[in-house]
Amino acid sequence: MTQSAQDTILIIDFGSQVTQLIARRVREAGVYSEIAPFNAAEEAFHRLKPRGIILSGGPSSVVGIDPPLPPDAIWTAGVPILGICYGQQAMAKQLGGTVEVGDSGEFGRAFIEISDRCALFAGLWREGETHQVWMSHGDKVQALPAGFRPVAQTAGAPFAAIADDERRFFGVQFHPEVVHTPDGAQLIANFARHVCGLKGDWTMAEFRAAKIAEIRAQVGKGRVICGLSGGVDSAVAAVLIHEAIGDQLTCVFVDHGLMRKGEAEQVVSLFKGHYNIPLVHVNAETLFLNGLAGVTDPEAKRKFIGKTFIDVFEDEAKKVGGADFLAQGTLYPDVIESVSFTGGPSVTIKSHHNVGGLPARMNMKLVEPLRELFKDEVRELGRELGLPDIFVGRHPFPGPGLAIRIPGAVDKAKCDILRKADAIYLEEIRNAGLYDAIWQAFAVLLPVKTVGVMGDGRTYDNVCALRAVTSTDGMTADIFPFDAAFLSRVATRIVNEVAGINRVVYDYTSKPPGTIEWE
Ligand code: XMP
């Protein structure tokens, strides 16, 4: 990256699912940041000479045996430090306070009372006010280290926010990085700008320039093959890589037969219409559906699809005369939910097909220029690159496609039923002018049959579930609150127009605890 060392904030990762959210909040504040796992933090600290440090949350307990802790050197360097959740507990423990194992914990929405002034709250929160925050912790700080004072509390956490003004150390038990702490982004911006004194002039244009240089350095004179799905991620990745290396790039669109209605045609025509990048269109529906026959386990589906994608890519790479690199539009949420401890320590939730399904024998190196970005940042980068709105504004669509929206075994007949229901749902959403207000909306075909009555006859058909969520990054999500008239209009149309579905339900689960996709 182009930023000079002294303008950097170092984020030390203790394995939180949302560490990258901290990084993006810092980016949003216009400040460059780097993340280092706790066990590489000492080296990163000396190399970067950061102007501020943030300690992430994490699944460990500082009360446990040999807990992960930040390097001692950070406490005496005169650099401001913000500890979040586990990071606050680690801070308390290392500086001489005590932490206790909570007997109940706090999970989800909570309200904090501001009890004192604090530089983190500048221009935002005042003494005596109550504000919504997002909590997710079992342990809590019990006694403060010398020099600290409490500045906010909740019913479950007397030290919900703490401050040592002299050393400029701050700790929060809640998660300011998630959107469910509505003022959280501003708190992090306060830390970066007000406490650390950084200017906040880092932009997406710099990200683009830095990435282009990085891609050129990585690829050299090599050939790159890029998987194009029609979604925003692969389109942005392709355009960025094309800008970097021109016709060393060939794009391949693998149609796995698990796309939405009309999507494959749209991808080919839009891509060819808008860009001058060579595109190979492979129809692999039979290969994918035959391989998926009888497979019911979600991880098995994901792994099969991921592996088969790579097989097809390898074949195509050979046909275009060989490629040294495979480019993918992998985003940070795909990475974080797929890796476990070693790279950046967090628990595997799903094997996203761009990452977890890659077979070890794959003999192309990966180019993944969007790996540290979130969806909305990719959209911003897309706009920065001049991509048309039709790509940039599209709802996300997962790599494994409809296969993970058909719980149980997948076949062509089910895909066709789901495609029809999904198209009706999306058409109604567009007609109601709601498409852009929703992060993602789709239908799910359940392997559950129920009895219905149509005309004078009994029906015994499948249930279709509708999902629509709002989100800014896919890491957390809330359900979209359609009005009842809208939902009943969609339900009526689906039951009337789609043979094979006789009941429609609406999924009311936020993320967490649900995920956005059903598998
Ligand atoms: P979940 O279901 O994990 O989804 O809450 C978060 C976001 O990621 C998308 N998703 C995927 N995207 N490959 C992708 O490219 C995948 O394997 C994959 N699985 C889920 C999902 O649609 C949502 O936007």
CA of 337 to the centre of ligand 1 (A): 9
**Known catalytic residue at 517:** no
So what's the pLDDT on residue 357? 42
* Amino acid identity, position 315: D
Catalytic residue among 34, 106, 177, 316: 177
Strands 365-367 and 52-55: unpaired
Ramachandran category for residue 455: left, alpha or beta (phi over 0 → left; psi -120 to 50 → alpha): left
Question: Could you say which of 137, 175, 242, 353 is catalytic?
Answer: 175
Q: For ligand 1, atom 12, name the residue with the nearest CA.
A: 398
Distance from the alpha carbon of residue 334 to the mean position of ligand 1, in angstroms = 7
CA distance 517 to 339: 18
Q: Which residue has the tokens 């979040």?
A: 84
Sorted by sequence, the CB contacts under 8 Å of residue 400 that are 6+ apart come out as 258, 301, 302, 305, 306, 353
Q: What local confidence, expressed as pLDDT, does residue 348 receive?
A: 58
Residue 168 CB less than 6 A away from ligand 1: no
Instruction: List the chain pLDDT tens, one digit each, 519 residues.
Output: 444 545 899 999 999 988 989 998 999 999 988 889 999 999 999 999 999 999 999 999 999 889 999 999 999 999 999 999 999 999 999 999 999 887 667 778 899 999 999 999 999 999 999 999 998 878 889 999 999 999 999 987 889 999 999 999 999 999 999 988 999 999 999 999 999 999 998 889 988 998 999 999 999 999 999 988 778 898 899 999 999 999 999 998 999 999 999 888 877 876 777 778 888 999 999 999 999 999 999 999 999 998 898 888 788 878 888 788 989 888 877 765 544 333 444 555 666 655 444 434 456 788 999 988 888 889 999 999 988 887 788 898 998 999 999 999 999 999 999 999 999 999 999 999 999 999 999 999 999 999 999 988 999 999 999 999 999 778 889 999 999 999 999 999 999 999 999 999 999 999 989 999 999
Question: Which pLDDT belongs to residue 107?
Answer: 79
Confidence (pLDDT) at 168: 98
Tell which atom from ligand 1 comes closest to the C-alpha of 357.
17
pLDDT score at 354: 55
Do 14 and 55 touch, CB atoms closer than 8 A?
A: yes
3-state secondary structure of 241: helix
Cβ pair 340, 347 in contact under 8 A:
yes
Kindly give the number of the ligand 1 atom that is closest to the alpha carbon of 329: 15
Whether 281 sits among the annotated catalytic residues: the reply is: no
In the residue annotation, 177 being an active-site residue is answered as yes
Please enumerate in sequence order all residues whose Cβ is within 8 A of that of 455, keeping only pairs 6 or more positions apart, or say none: none
Contacts of 426 (CB under 8 A, 6+ apart): 260, 435, 441, 442
SS3 (DSSP) at 80: coil
Residue 22: per-residue pLDDT = 95
